[in-house]
């Protein structure tokens, strides 16, 4: 056990991925304050028969069959009767809530909170997210039934459910969940040498040294409430897979007309790309689609980083060490480079490696298997990602990344004024993305749409187990 | 167009233009309005926007009353800036998003005016991380500054403190001003703003009563907004 941290005091979903295929979020409102407090106390009591037990970071020799964790909104803390002196110590962005921060997050137009469906249309009523992780739906149902047994403590406002696809693929077809930050005192830096510096524990837990040297985030008091807790931006992110695939088609067709197309894809190179990515029959158009997809993301859809292999995907390199120092072939505006510029040159030099987040996401909705038979006029089922973006400071990490990097491109003058090509709030009339060529010049792609739109979300506090006991004892 | 105004209308229009009426109204009418319809000061800084051009070259106008209201207090403030000049230049270089920063002493206030790119909280946080000790040197001379220093250990409180001292930027259009007023109503706000334009003068007077120092507009640019790094790159200065 590390001296800095007691893993049994930290909720398990913060420092580890459970690797369970099914996840269900219960969105709950406090129905009875006293009963809700008793429920919280019971959730850490160690009594396995009644209320589901919060899964801690340390579970001993046997991994549980199901896992269970909670997050509280500011309104939830208030509803539980948290003292006002403690509430006042939470950061502004958490107090205001995700809906109020819409402009910063790019939640405008079809992503605006005013368009969010229930239960996210009534943010003041959302008090607690209870998350169940399991292998089978029956297990999810069983834990949900236990969590809501008696029906006195909580009122169920709604649920969201997701299921992982094989091989960590997500709706747009990319392999996801390749790298997470590794934390000082938690992970062995030699074991996952992805080249990124080990992150101070304060990147993800309150009460520990942060990535910005000498800076400490405020820990809500009493210590039992704030320490070892963290914040989560929960997002329901609808993904327009059909629109994305159509865009790749269009961009590939456009590229074929460019005089420099052979610089993008030398004659014959399509065979290699199509073979690695199992695209049949191989074609220049098919390979160009994948080149565009890879450049927008910064990784080929099989996960190979462009920074290491820009001409052809190479599965051996998926988890290899890379950086953006020097003349990287990864576009400045690519999604993964925008989110995490690693040690590459950025405008805000002090911010390198300071805005990293733990990301826990699970797809929802049916997997896209190509165009449906018929004329395509029927409505597409909604599909997307239930995303959790976890960090000790929502303002310094999630919002800073969303606001200045994803949706303004402030970190590099070559992309300032453009949005993230995949997740950004793009308008086809004004959007652009520069696809780099070997020669050093670029081809500017236009007409990017808003492929990802927000359909709900909330800022939550992920309390330590000590904090849950404290809240249960109020 | 022929006027339908009667004598009474003309008197009502004329009265507010007289010095005597303005004085009497300041002493009696405005406090009466303020008691009947209390107005909260509108928050400072640029209005949140999703237009990219609005999110570069943003203005910060800080007015911070000095603790020691005398030439000695003002001299201390001048000295704090002068002694840290090199650190300030280094900070500007490292933060990378500031076009310029000016320190001005007006009366017994030390003022900091700057033009920066991107989000306000990121800008201040990056500065704390880079030259927090300069902030500490200046803010310790300012009323209430001791509550938020050292800024490195009070990051969130310090950013909020600065935000509260950043001047409200009065929009150029009546509808935007009414929108800001309406936003103060929070959940009770009506959208779209459905307000009586004839009340605009009263609302402006009451806001200026609550908010004595304001910025008129959010800065008028002679050219479209560019980031610091875009300017430096274009001029070949490195970024």
N- to C-terminal Cα distance for chain B? 59
Nearest chain B residue to A431 by CA distance is B52
For range A219-228, the mean pLDDT: 97
B2 has a pLDDT exceeding 60: no
Residues within 8 A of B (CB atoms), A 156-185 only: none
Residues within 8 A of B (CB atoms), A 379-408 only: 395-396, 399-400, 403-404, 407-408
The residues that bridge with A28 in the sheet, in sequence order, are A128, A156
For B83-94, the pLDDT digits (tens) are: 999 999 999 988
Neighbours of A84 (CB within 10 A): 9
Q: Of the candidates A124, A117, A130, which has an alpha carbon nearest to the alpha carbon of residue A156?
A: A130
What is residue A188's predicted lDDT score, i.e. its pLDDT?
A: 79
Out of A124, A348, A407, closest to residue B95 by CB: A348
- Under the banding of pLDDT at 50, 70 and 90, the label for residue A380 is confident
Mutant choice from B48, B54, B55 vs A, greatest count of A C-beta within 10 A: B55
Percent of chain B predicted with pLDDT > 70: 94
Out of A108, A350, A399, closest to residue B50 by CB: A108
Q: Of the candidates A408, A165, A441, A435, which has an alpha carbon nearest to the alpha carbon of residue A298?
A: A435
Provide, as residue numbers in chain B, all residues whose Cβ is less than 8 Å from the Cβ of A202: none
Q: Which backbone phi and psi does B26 adopt, to 5 degrees?
A: -65, -35
What is residue B51's predicted lDDT score, i.e. its pLDDT?
A: 73
Nearest chain A residue to B127 by CA distance is A350
Average pLDDT, chain B: 89
**Residue A39 CB partners (closer than 8 Å, separation 6+):** A51, A153, A154, A472
DSSP code string of chain B: ------HHHHHHHHGGGSHHHHHHIIIIIHHHHHHHS--PPPP-BPPP---GGGGSSEEEEEEEEBSS-SHHHHHHHHHHHHHTHHHHHHHHHHH--EEEEEEEEETTEEEEEEEE-S-HHHHHHHHHHHHHHHHHHHHTTBTTGGGS-SGGG-HHHHHHHHHHHBPEEE-SSHHHHHHHHHHTTGGG--SS----GGGHHHHHHHHHHH-SSEEESS---SS----HHHHHHHTT---
For A245-278, the pLDDT digits (tens) are: 999 999 999 999 999 999 999 999 999 999 999 9
Structure tokens at B211: 């908010």
For range A75-97, the mean pLDDT: 97
What global pTM score does this model have? 0.93
A to B CB pairs, distance under 8 Å: 101
A437 has a pLDDT exceeding 90: yes
Query: In this complex, do B229 and A400 lie within 8 Å of one another by their Cβ atoms?
Result: no
What is residue B236's predicted lDDT score, i.e. its pLDDT?
A: 95
Provide, as residue numbers in chain A, all residues whose Cβ is less than 8 Å from the Cβ of B121: 395, 399-400
User: What are the CA-CA distances from residue B29 to residues A87, B8, B10, B14 (Å)?
Assistant: 39, 19, 20, 17
What is residue A192's predicted lDDT score, i.e. its pLDDT?
A: 67
Question: Which own/partner pairs from A436-443 qualify as long-range (CB within 8 Å, at least 24 positions apart)?
Answer: A436/A295, A436/A329, A436/A331, A437/A260, A437/A263, A437/A264, A438/A263, A438/A329, A439/A260, A439/A263, A441/A260, A443/A255, A443/A258, A443/A260, A443/A264
Residues within 8 A of B (CB atoms), A 37-96 only: 91-92
A176 has a pLDDT exceeding 60: yes
A360-369, B93-102, B155-164, B191-200: which range is least confident on average? B191-200
Put simply, whether A214 touches B (Cβ < 8 Å) is yes
Residue B115 CA to chain centroid, in angstroms?
12
Structure tokens at B149: 């220093």
What is residue B164's predicted lDDT score, i.e. its pLDDT?
A: 94
Put simply, whether A429 touches B (Cβ < 8 Å) is no
Angle at A444 between CA A442 and CA A450, to 5 degrees: 135
Average pLDDT, chain A: 94
- Under the banding of pLDDT at 50, 70 and 90, the label for residue A1 is very low
Three-class DSSP labels, chain A = CCCCCCHHHCEHHHHCCCCCCEEEEEEEEECCHHHHHHHHHHCCCCCCCCCCCCCECCCCCCCCCCEEEEEECHHHHHHCCCCHHHHCCCCHHHHHCCHHHHHHHCCCHHHCHHHCCCCCCCHHHCCEEEEEEECCHHHHHHHHHHHCCCCCCEEEEEEEEEECCHHHECCCCCECCCCCCCECCCCCCCCCCCCCCCECHHHCCCCCCCCCCCCCCCCCCCHHHHCCCEEEEEEEEEECHHHHHHHHHHHHHHHHHCCCHHHHCCCCHHHHHHHHCCCCCCCHHHHHHHHHHHHHHCECCCCCECCCCCCCCCHHHCCCCCCCCCCCCCCCCCHHHHHCCCCCCCCCHHHCCCCCCEEEEEEECCCCCCCCCCCCCCCCCCCEEEEEEEECCHHHHHHHHHHHHHCCCCCCCCCCCCCCCCCCCCCCCCCEEEEECCCCCEEEEECCCCCEEEEEEEEEEECCHHHHHHHHCC
What is residue A69's predicted lDDT score, i.e. its pLDDT?
A: 98
- Under the banding of pLDDT at 50, 70 and 90, the label for residue B39 is confident
Provide, as residue numbers in chain B, all residues whose Cβ is less than 8 Å from the Cβ of A108: 50
Q: Which domains does chain B have, with CATH numbers?
A: 1-36 (no CATH), 52-168 (3.30.70.100)
Interface of B with A (CB under 8 A): 48-50, 52-53, 55-56, 94-97, 117-119, 121-122, 125-126, 128-130, 132, 152-157, 159-160, 187, 226-230, 232-233, 239
What is residue B203's predicted lDDT score, i.e. its pLDDT?
A: 87
- Under the banding of pLDDT at 50, 70 and 90, the label for residue A376 is low
Q: Which backbone phi and psi does A330 adopt, to 5 degrees?
A: -80, 130
Report the alpha-carbon distance of residue A27 to residue A118 in Å, rounded: 10
- Under the banding of pLDDT at 50, 70 and 90, the label for residue B25 is confident
Provide, as residue numbers in chain A, all residues whose Cβ is less than 8 Å from the Cβ of B118: 403-404, 408, 410
Query: In this complex, do B233 and A213 lie within 8 Å of one another by their Cβ atoms?
Result: no
For A25-76, the pLDDT digits (tens) are: 999 999 999 999 999 999 998 876 689 999 999 888 889 999 999 999 999 9
Q: Which backbone phi and psi does A303 adopt, to 5 degrees?
A: 105, -10
Angle at B48 between CA B47 and CA B53, to 5 degrees: 95
User: B205's torsion region: left (phi>0), alpha (psi -120 to 50) or beta?
Assistant: alpha
Contact A31, A155 (CB under 8 A): yes
Contact A87, A74 (CB under 8 A): yes
- Find the helix packing angle between A465-472 and A33-42, rounded to 10°: 140
Contact B84, B137 (CB under 8 A): yes
What is residue A41's predicted lDDT score, i.e. its pLDDT?
A: 96
* Residue B118 Cα, gap to closest chain A Cα (Å): 6
Nearest chain A residue to B230 by CA distance is A413
Put simply, whether A218 touches B (Cβ < 8 Å) is yes
B3 has a pLDDT exceeding 70: no
Instruction: Please report where in the chains the tokens 């910005």 appear, as a residue.
Output: A212
For range A97-114, the mean pLDDT: 95
Mutant choice from B96, B161, B187, B188 vs A, greatest count of A C-beta within 10 A: B96
């Amino acid at each position: 056990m590390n001296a800095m941290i007691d893993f049994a005091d930290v909720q398990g979903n913060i420092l580890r991925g459970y690797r369970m295929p099914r996840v269900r979020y219960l969105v709950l409102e406090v129905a009875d304050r006293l009963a809700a407090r008793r429920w919280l106390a019971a959730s850490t009591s160690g009594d396995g028969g009644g209320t589901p037990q919060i899964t801690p970071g340390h579970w001993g020799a046997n991994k549980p069959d199901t896992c269970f964790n909670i997050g509280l909104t500011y309104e939830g803390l208030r509803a539980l009767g948290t003292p006002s002196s403690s509430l006042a110590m939470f950061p502004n962005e958490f107090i205001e809530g995700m809906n109020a921060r819409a402009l910063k997050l790019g939640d405008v137009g079809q992503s605006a909170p005013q368009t969010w469906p229930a239960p996210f249309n009534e943010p003041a009523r959302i008090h607690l997210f209870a998350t169940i992780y399991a292998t089978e739906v029956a297990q999810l149902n069983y834990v949900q039934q236990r969590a809501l047994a008696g029906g006195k403590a909580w009122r169920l406002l709604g649920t969201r459910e997701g299921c992982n696809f094989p091989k960590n693929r997500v709706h747009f077809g990319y392999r996801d969940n390749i790298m997470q930050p590794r934390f000082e005192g938690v992970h062995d830096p030699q074991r996952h040498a992805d080249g990124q510096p080990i992150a101070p524990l304060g990147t993800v837990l309150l009460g520990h040294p942060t990535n910005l040297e000498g800076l400490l985030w405020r820990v809500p008091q009493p210590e039992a409430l704030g320490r070892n807790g963290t914040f989560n931006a929960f997002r329901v992110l609808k993904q327009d897979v059909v629109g994305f695939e159509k865009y790749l088609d269009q961009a590939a067709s456009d590229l074929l007309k460019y005089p420099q197309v052979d610089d993008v894809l030398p004659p014959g190179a399509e065979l290699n790309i199509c073979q690695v990515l199992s695209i049949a029959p191989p074609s220049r158009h098919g390979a160009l689609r994948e080149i565009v997809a890879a450049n927008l993301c910064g990784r080929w859809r099989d996960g190979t980083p462009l920074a290491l292999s820009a001409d052809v995907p190479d599965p051996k390199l998926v988890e290899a060490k890379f950086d953006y120092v020097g003349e990287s072939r990864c576009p400045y505006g690519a999604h993964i480079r925008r989110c995490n510029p690693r040690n590459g040159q950025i405008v805000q030099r002090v911010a390198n490696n300071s805005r990293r987040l733990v990301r826990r996401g699970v797809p929802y909705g049916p997997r896209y298997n190509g165009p449906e038979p018929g004329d395509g006029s029927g409505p597409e089922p909604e599909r997307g990602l239930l995303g959790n973006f976890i960090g000790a400071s929502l303002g310094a990490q999630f919002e800073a990344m969303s606001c200045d990097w994803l949706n303004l491109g402030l970190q590099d003058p070559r992309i300032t004024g453009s949005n993230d090509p995949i997740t950004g709030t793009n308008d086809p009339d004004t959007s652009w993305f520069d696809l780099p060529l070997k020669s050093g010049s670029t081809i500017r792609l236009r007409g990017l749409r808003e492929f990802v739109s927000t359909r709900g979300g909330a800022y939550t506090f992920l309390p330590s187990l000590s904090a849950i006991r404290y809240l249960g004892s109020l | 167009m022929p006027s339908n105004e009667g004598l009474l209308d003309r008197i009502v229009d004329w009265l507010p233009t007289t010095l005597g009426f303005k004085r009497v109204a300041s002493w009696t009418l405005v406090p009466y309005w303020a008691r009947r319809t209390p107005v909260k000061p509108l928050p400072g800084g640029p209005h949140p926007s999703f237009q990219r051009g609005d999110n570069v070259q943003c203005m910060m106008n800080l007015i911070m009353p000095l603790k020691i209201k005398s030439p000695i207090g003002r001299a201390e403030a001048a000295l704090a800036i002068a002694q840290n000049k090199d650190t300030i230049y280094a900070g500007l270089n490292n933060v990378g998003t500031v076009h310029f920063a000016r320190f001005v002493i007006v009366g017994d206030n030390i003022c900091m005016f700057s033009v920066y790119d991107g989000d306000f909280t990121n800008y201040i946080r990056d500065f704390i991380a880079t030259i927090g000790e300069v902030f500490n040197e200046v803010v310790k001379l300012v009323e209430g500054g001791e509550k938020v220093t050292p800024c490195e250990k009070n990051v969130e409180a310090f950013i909020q403190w600065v935000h509260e001292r950043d001047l409200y930027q009065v929009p150029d259009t009546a509808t935007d001003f009414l929108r800001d007023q309406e936003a103060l109503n929070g959940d009770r706000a009506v959208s779209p703003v459905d307000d009586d334009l004839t009340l605009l003068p009263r609302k402006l007077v009451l806001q200026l009563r609550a908010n004595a120092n304001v910025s008129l507009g959010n800065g008028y640019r002679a050219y479209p907004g560019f980031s610091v790094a875009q300017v430096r790159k274009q001029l070949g200065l490195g970024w």
